[in-house]
């Protein structure tokens, strides 16, 4: 890997570790296949050489900060535009301390999908609204010269135009594919509950993988993220069963946007999620 960003990342990481500004740097390293770039956790300066940047650096590394939320460790990590919003998510949700994270932003040219490497660009990058990180301590890479070729809520009207029965059938068919691996939950920077509702001895969710339980799982998760979803698309990327998880997340984001907005989650640290704060002028048409 001999691109300029890779060199910069290695130098930066090495320096941060050598100067003991951080105890760990989270980045990506090359996997066994050309389209495999995988998270790497560098703790000593010599290993900074492992770091790379290429078009397959898909993982949102911010979610890993949850693993270290009680450690008191100072951690540096690389974030693309979407990943930087995950940092805002974690800060707003009070999961991490700002002073314990050193954020290195990458101006993102858009990445490819390691699960569909033949695609020119990952589907989730097509409607990217923030290729430039929204929060960082320093930033590397040229400002990307790219425009989204898809509107933020494009395609959502397809669901909106369905009748209730059609909607039910559409989602039930999708949720019936679910094997309940919980990859979508575990990869999500918004899923930070210390004990997830779904991990409580089947108090809420049965182990049986049947329509009703699957729907309950997906709907609960989507609603729990209402107004908080940063639209990074990680959940949909990692779903082994190709469930269009972002379709529902985007629909909810669209509703939040039209009811309380304009609002885009975790773009601005000061702007808390609409459902997480009280405003006198909030609509209350149902009262």
* Residue (38 or 95) nearer to another protein, CB: 38
Q: What are residue 41's phi and psi, to 5 degrees?
A: -120, 105
When asked if residue 238 is in the footprint of another protein (CB under 8 A), the reply is: yes
- Name the minimum Å distance from CB 40 to another protein: 7
* Residue (143 or 173) nearer to another protein, CB: 173
CA distance 164 to 82: 32
Q: How far is CA 157 from the centre of its chain?
A: 23
110: left (phi over 0), alpha (psi -120 to 50) or beta: left
Piece in contact with another protein (CB under 8 A), picked from 139-147, 156-164, 236-244, 264-272:
236-244
When asked if residue 37 is in the footprint of another protein (CB under 8 A), the reply is: yes
Q: Which 164-183 positions form the footprint of another protein (CB under 8 A)? A: 177, 179-183
How open is the CA angle 99-102-104, to the nearest 5 degrees?
150
Q: Which of 79, 187, 226, 266 touches another protein (CB under 8 A)?
A: 187
Q: Which of 49, 95, 186, 220 touches another protein (CB under 8 A)?
A: 186
Which residue matches tokens 């290729």?
131
CA distance 57 to 1: 13
When asked if residue 3 is in the footprint of another protein (CB under 8 A), the reply is: no
* Residue (208 or 277) nearer to another protein, CB: 208
Report helix, strand and coil shares of the chain as percent, to nearest 5: 40, 10, 50
Q: How far is CA 28 from the centre of its chain?
A: 16
Long-range contacts of the stretch 143-151 (C-beta < 8 A, 24+):
143/107, 144/107, 144/108, 144/109, 144/110, 146/109, 146/110, 150/126, 151/127
* Residue (245 or 256) nearer to another protein, CB: 245
CA distance 163 to 173: 15
CA distance 100 to 155: 39
CB 137 within 8 A of CB 98: no
Q: Which of 4, 46, 138, 206 touches another protein (CB under 8 A)?
A: 206
Number of residues that bind another protein (CB under 8 A): 38
- Name the minimum Å distance from CB 142 to another protein: 27
Q: How far is CA 108 from the centre of its chain?
A: 14
Q: Which of 174, 191, 184, 181 is nearest to 234 (CA)?
A: 184
Piece in contact with another protein (CB under 8 A), picked from 91-99, 140-148, 197-205, 277-285:
197-205
- Name the minimum Å distance from CB 59 to another protein: 6
When asked if residue 223 is in the footprint of another protein (CB under 8 A), the reply is: no
When asked if residue 59 is in the footprint of another protein (CB under 8 A), the reply is: yes
Q: Which 39-58 positions form the footprint of another protein (CB under 8 A)? A: 39-41
* Residue (64 or 216) nearer to another protein, CB: 64
When asked if residue 249 is in the footprint of another protein (CB under 8 A), the reply is: no
Binding site for another protein (CB under 8 A): 31-33, 36-41, 59, 63-64, 67, 114-115, 177, 179-183, 185-187, 199, 201-202, 206-210, 234, 237-238, 240-242
């Amino acid at each position: 890997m001999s691109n300029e960003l890779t060199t910069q990342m290695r130098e930066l990481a090495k320096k941060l570790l050598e100067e003991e500004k951080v105890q760990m740097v989270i980045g990506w390293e090359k996997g066994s296949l050309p389209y495999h770039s995988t998270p790497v956790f560098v703790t000593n300066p010599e290993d900074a050489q492992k770091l790379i940047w290429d078009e397959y650096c898909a993982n949102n590394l911010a979610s890993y900060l949850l693993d270290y939320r009680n450690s008191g460790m100072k951690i540096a990590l690389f974030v693309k535009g979407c990943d930087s919003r995950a940092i805002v998510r974690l800060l707003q949700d009070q999961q991490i301390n700002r002073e314990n994270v050193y954020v290195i932003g990458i101006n993102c040219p858009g990445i490819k999908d390691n699960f569909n490497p033949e695609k020119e660009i990952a589907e989730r990058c097509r409607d990217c609204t923030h290729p430039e990180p929204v929060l960082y301590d320093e930033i590397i890479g040229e400002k990307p010269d790219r425009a989204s070729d898809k509107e933020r809520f494009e395609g959502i009207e397809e669901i909106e135009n369905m009748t209730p029965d059609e909607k039910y059938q559409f989602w039930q068919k999708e949720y019936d594919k679910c094997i309940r691996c919980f990859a979508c939950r575990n990869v999500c920077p918004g899923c930070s509950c210390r004990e997830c509702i779904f991990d409580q001895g089947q108090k809420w969710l049965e182990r049986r993988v049947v329509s009703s339980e699957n729907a309950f799982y997906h709907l609960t998760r989507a609603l729990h993220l209402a107004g908080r979803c940063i639209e990074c698309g990680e959940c949909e990327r990692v779903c082994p069963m190709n469930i269009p998880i972002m379709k529902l997340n985007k629909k909810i984001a669209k509703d939040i946007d039209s009811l309380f907005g304009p609002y885009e989650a975790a773009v601005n640290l000061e702007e808390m999620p609409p459902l997480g704060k009280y405003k006198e002028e909030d609509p209350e048409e149902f009262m």
